Amino acid sequence: MELQIPYEVTPRRDTGVNNAKLGIWLFLASEVMLFGGLFAAYIFLRMGADAWPGMETFDTHEMATRADQILSVPLATLNTVILIASSVTMVLSWASLKMNNFKGFKLHMGLTILLALGFLVVKAFEYGSKFGHHVYPETNIFLAIYFVLTGLHAIHVTGGIIVNAYFWGPGTKMWLNGNAHDKAHFTNRIEVAGLYWHFVDLVWIFLFPMIYLV
């Protein structure tokens, strides 16, 4: 008999979680530190900046162009709505599995993927219009941090789409061909993917006001 790794599906009694769930929380902790480092860099650069959008110059008391005049707040708001909606459909896809409703899962997971793609399309338009006006990361330090932060976030969205698409397509074999144990395993996978997805959503909730509004 080959010895099996325990707690892959069922939670351990004294810790209350299964391996994958603990793993994803630890991963998210490291992600907090990654984005935390970049947010700290944003604050550091802004505090030491000679010029920043919306900043009043010391001698002439003129205000520089505000961030919401440089970047498109309506598009970002639209994207915020899209991402929050995708978080909701993500939960619904997991809840459907919990209620043994595979069709519901397919529908809601499909919607999550489509919404995420929609987010990237809107983002692409935003970037495109910046490049069209010859506004690049190298233009100034504010735009540099804008492009790096939103770009890294977009990479995270892309990663989420790939994972979710796998679970929507080939990954469903585990549910379709599996016994009750495999089904529980698949449901756990969706929950873990969901935790990641909510985190990506949450990062945007911080990014949006910080870059576009304040």
Partner 1 sequence: MEDHHTASHHEGHKVGFWRKYWFSTDHKVIGIQYGITALFFLLFGFILMLLMRWQLASPGIEIPLLGALTPEMYNQFGAMHGTIMVFMGIVPLAVGAFGNYVVPLQIGAVDMAFPRLNMASYHFFFWGGVVMMASFFVPQGAAKAGWTSYPPLADIETMGQTMWLWGMVLLITSSLLGAINFLTTIIQLRTEGMTFFRMPFFVWAQFITAFLLLLAFPPLEAAGILQLADRLLDTSFFLPSGLVTAEGPLEVSGGGSPLLWQHLFWFLAHPEVYVLVLPAMGIVAEIVANNTRKPLWGYRLMVYSLIFLGFMSFIVWAHHMFITGMGTAISAFFQVTTMIISIPSVVILSALFITLWGGSIRFTTPMLFALGFLPMFGIGGLTGLPLGLAPTDIPLHDTYYVIGHFHYVVAPGTILALFAGIYYWFPKMTGRTMNDTLGKIHFWGTIISMNGIFFPMLIQGMAGVSRRLFDGGLAYSFSEPVLEYNVFMSISAAALFLFQIPFIINFFQSIRGGRKVEKANHWDATTLDWSATPTPPVPHGNFESVPRVYRDPYEYSVPGSGVPFLSQDTAPPAAPSDQILEEVEA
Asked if residue 133 binds partner 1 (CB under 8 A), the reply is no
| 165 touches 112 (CB < 8 A) | no
One residue of 104, 130, 152, 194 binding partner 1 per CB under 8 A? 152
Query: What is the spatial distance between Cα 186 and Cα 173, in angstroms, rounded to a whole number?
Result: 9
Asked if residue 62 binds partner 1 (CB under 8 A), the reply is no
Asked if residue 15 binds partner 1 (CB under 8 A), the reply is yes
Query: Could you write out the DSSP letters of every residue in 176-202?
Result: HS--HHHHHHHHHHHHHHHHHHHHHHH
Nearest Cα residue to 106 out of 159, 176, 157 = 176
Asked if residue 126 binds partner 1 (CB under 8 A), the reply is no
Q: Which CB atom, from 109 or from 149, has the smaller least distance to partner 1?
A: 149
One residue of 90, 113, 115, 145 binding partner 1 per CB under 8 A? 145
Cβ-based neighbours of 172, under 8 Å, separated by 6 or more: 102, 106, 186
CB of 40: closest distance to partner 1 in angstroms? 8
Query: What is the spatial distance between Cα 123 and Cα 139, in angstroms, rounded to a whole number?
Result: 19
Q: Which CB atom, from 41 or from 73, has the smaller least distance to partner 1?
A: 41
Contact residues: partner 1, CB under 8 A: 1-7, 12, 15, 17-19, 22-23, 26-27, 29-31, 33-38, 40-41, 44-45, 48-51, 136-141, 144-145, 147-148, 152
